[in-house]
Structure formats: C-alpha cells, structure tokens
Amino acid sequence: MQDVRPVQAGVVEEWDLEADVVVAGYGIAGVCAAIEAARAGAEVLVLERTGGWGGAAALSGGWIYLGGGTALQRALGFDDTPEAMARFMSAALGPAADDARIGDYCAGSAGHYDWLVDCGVEFKPEFWSQPGWEVPHDEGLGYSGGENSAPFRADIPPAPRGHVPRMQGKRTGVRGAGYMLMRPLAETAESLGVRAEFDVRVSALVTGDGRIAGLRARRYGRDLTVRARRGVVLATGGFTYNADMVAAHAPRLAGRPAAAIEEHDGVSILMAQAVGAAVAHMDATEVAFFGDPQLLARGIVVNGRGQRFIAEDTYPGRIGQAVLLDQGNEAFLVIDEAGHDEGVATATSTPFFRQPPTWAAGSIAELEADMGLPAGALQGTVDMYNAYAECGEDPLLGKKREWLRPLRSPFAAFDMRGFTAGFTLGGLRCDLDGRVQHVAGGPIDGLYAAGRCTWGLASGGYASGTSLGDGSFYGRRAGAAAARRTSGDAEVPHA
C-alpha cells in the first residue's frame, strides 16, 4: 500500500509542476471542476493516472440524472418540478440521503442541463419508454430510476429524468454514451487552457501554513511534487477496487465483481483522511444485477424460498440491491415461453445479458423440483400471481398493468444466484461547495473534492445517472470554489 501520509511543504526543495488549481482525476467530476476553475480565471492543471481523459464516465452508459423541468423534458412534453424530483430522490437514494443537498441539486438541475449543452453535449429529443440498463440507440430521455414503478409512482408524480448524450455508432457495453458526454467536456477544458499531465499517480497531500499546498505524485518511477497556489480538487473515484477498504467499510461487496474501474482504489479518501478529513456512509453501495430488464418485467423474480420480493418492472439496480442486501444474493427468474420469446425479440438494449434458461419444464411443480425449491412454494407464488394478473392487478408488489400477464406452460427459469456486482457510494464529507470537512468541524483550507470519492447524493439507494449528475454538478462547484480562493485567504462560500 502506498504511503498516503502528508508531506510538509517545508521539506519540498523544488516544485515539479504548479498551477492555481490542481485537479486529481480527469473523469466527470475532474473535467467539470477544471472547466469552472478555468472560467473563473484560474490556471488549472489536471493530473490523471491513466493515459487519457475519461475515467469511469467515458466507459459508462451515459445516463445523467437531471430533471425539474429541463429543456429536453419540456420539449418531449413531460412535466417535472424541482420539488417532485427532490421527493423522488429523497425516497429512492437511501435512508441517509441529505435532503439539503438533494434540494440544492434539484433546484439547479435544469440549469445544469443547459450548462452541459453549452459545453457541446448533445441530447436527441426522443423518448425511450422501454425497460433497460441503457438506451439502445441515441434517444435522449428515459426512465432510469424506477420513477414510474412501485413503490414510488403511487405518491410521487413520475417523470423521466435519465438524460443520455447522443452518440453515433453506439455500441452498448463497449463504447456507450458516456464517451459522448466526456469528449465535448474535455474539449471545452482544453479550449480554456486547462493543462493535463497523464500517467501521474497521486499519493499524498502537501501541507504548509495551515492549508493544503499541493500534492505528491509519481510518474514512470519518479516522484513529483505539485504546487497548488489556491487549492486541490480530489476527483479520483471511489474505493471499489481497494479490497482492504471494502472489507473494512462495505463488506457486503467483498468478493463481488466491481462495477467500476481499477483506478477507483480509494486513494483520494485515504489522502484526505491522513490530514483529518471526515468521511460519511462508507458502507453505502450500489448493486448492479445481471439480468435483462425486458425479461425481468415479463416474468417473476423469486428468492430461495420461491417467493416474490420486488416489482420486476422497477429499476434493475433496485432489484440488485434487494437481491444482495436482503435476499442473501439468491434470486431466480421464472418466465413462460411466450414472455421469454417476446422479451428476447424486444431486448435490443442489453444483448450481453442474454443466456439460455437454466431449467425448462412443462409444469411449475416440475420446475420447482428441478430448482431445488420447497415443494409447493413456487406453485403457490405462481397461482397467486396468475390470479391477480388475470385482472391486471398486483396488490402484493405493485407491478404495472402493462407487464401483468398470467404465466402459462411451458415454463423456464434462470438461476441468478450471485448475479450481482457493485460499487461504493460513501466517501469524503463535503459542503455544497465541495470543501472537504475536517473531523473536528469546518473545512480543510485549500482542499476540495467531488464525485465518487465523496458522500454525495446517494447513500444506499440509487438511480442510474446519479453519479454522473452528482459528479458533474458538484465538480463544477468545487472547481469554482477552489478558483475563488486566493493564496492565504479562504474563499467566499457559494451563495
């Protein structure tokens, strides 16, 4: 493990690199911090561990969670308000979701959409209505968090808030819309004079005169010291790929595949903790579920007792959370031949999730025996489901009428035990300007952070696009705040 203990500025004989604002990480949070810091008049340097910009954002499906009445929502005829958006996010993003932060984000969300468009990010004014992990083509708007599903739709007016950058020649799971989000932002940063140094691995903060003065880093086996005249912005991602941190803070992800990139090793969190930074909700995780949403919606998902436990047409990340955290990582999809064939024919968005069924049978009794479930358990579940589906109802879990159809022979089932992967949501505690907070209270002078290395909008629940929205929005804030800070003086807080 690298040494993350701070370096005293007094022992630095020479600075190898310097700028007003130094940003660690060139993903979504880092690029937005760099843009706003440069627009505020600061000289900006970005240090990136890999050989180019992008980070996890460029490899993602590109959902950005925005709403409250964005220009795209209005153009497509959807009504939304910051208040409705905030109600949904407070309900969906975990038990410790910060209502003040959510309110702040929702109030600025429509304006943030405009900012992205001004930076060259394009959104096609078309709506994708089908379930899916990603939009399969280049439609610009869809439901990405289960807003139109139980249990939320009954009490909170649903609106699609998953905004997807337009992309020509998209290849889902290979080169998605996240690349088309990052490319214009990186080009904007470059046009503003932002400098970038690649293949640089940050390792520790440099402190002096009661503030953060810079960073220690390493490139090609050589140590570097980097001076930040105004401030350092940490934006290197979460700690999903740090096995020790996962075991200590988020053990339910231990041993699970990581839905992140290897650079998410927690270094920003450890560096900041070494100078007294506070952290929050380090146990919070998002869980992906490797099931095709088109098939999930047309069948029933049961646990190891043969019982349904969640509406199958909801956001698949919500299903994943329930499977891993509440059902011991055990789940089975039961579907009939008609539903399977229809779902496969429709499932253009997630072809890489397709696989043959594990079992097939002419009766539920035969199927549950093959699955090793208690005799009669699955039969009782299917009988109840079918009886209500005949009437277009699901009083148990609230599945929408459009997906309710009795299951008829022949049947199939998919063994989905262990079909989960995840990433961390907890991290550094920051104020709304991205100023990292000390364990004793108040900000650490000259230190800012944004993105997955922070505790942001989500704290145990999730909606696709939350990380890109959170990282870009509060990356902007952190960069602007760092630029406002003058050497020796604390910056004026965001109004």
Contact 43, 19 (CB under 8 A): yes
Type of residue numbered 6 = P
Helix (H, G, I), strand (E, B) or coil at 142: strand
Q: What is the pLDDT along the chain (495 residues), one digit of tens a residue?
A: 689 999 999 999 999 999 999 999 999 999 999 999 999 999 999 999 999 999 999 999 899 999 999 999 999 999 999 999 999 999 999 888 999 999 999 999 999 999 999 999 999 999 999 888 788 788 999 999 999 999 999 999 999 999 999 977 666 656 678 999 999 999 999 999 999 999 999 999 999 999 999 999 999 999 999 999 999 999 999 999 999 999 999 999 999 999 999 999 999 999 999 999 999 999 999 999 999 999 999 999 999 999 999 999 999 999 999 999 999 999 999 999 999 999 988 866 566 667 899 999 999 999 999 999 999 999 999 999 999 999 999 999 999 999 999 999 999 999 999 999 999 999 999 999 999 999 999 999 999 999 999 999 999 899 999 999 999 999 999 999 999 987 544 443 443
Residue 275 parent element (H or E): none
Report how far residue 478's alpha carbon sits from residue 485's, in angstroms, rounded to the nearest whole number. 11
What pLDDT does 271 receive?
98
Q: Say how far apart CA 249 and CA 198 lie, in whole Å.
A: 30
Count of CB atoms situated within 10 Å of the CB of 146: 27
Rounded to two decimals, what is the model's pTM? 0.95
Quick one: pLDDT at residue 1? 63
Closest CA to 232 of 40, 33, 21: 21
**Residues 89, 104: Cα–Cα separation, whole Å:** 12
CA-to-CA distance for 345 and 340, rounded, in angstroms?
9
pLDDT at position 132: 80
Which of 41, 44, 101 has the alpha carbon at shortest distance from 433? Answer: 101
Token readout for 197 is 């140094």
Model pLDDT, residue 137: 82
pLDDT at 175: 67
Q: Residue 422: beta bridge partners?
A: 258, 287
Structural domains in the chain, CATH included, are 1-289+421-495 (3.50.50.60), 291-418 (3.90.700.10)
CA atoms within 13 A on the CB side of 205: 28
Residue 176: predicted pLDDT? 75
Q: What is the pLDDT of residue 479?
A: 98
Identify the pLDDT of residue 171.
67
Residue appearing with tokens 């880093």? 217
Residue at token pair 């049978």: 361
pLDDT, position 138: 86
The pLDDT score that the predictor gives to residue 490 is 45
Would you state the pLDDT for residue 492? 38
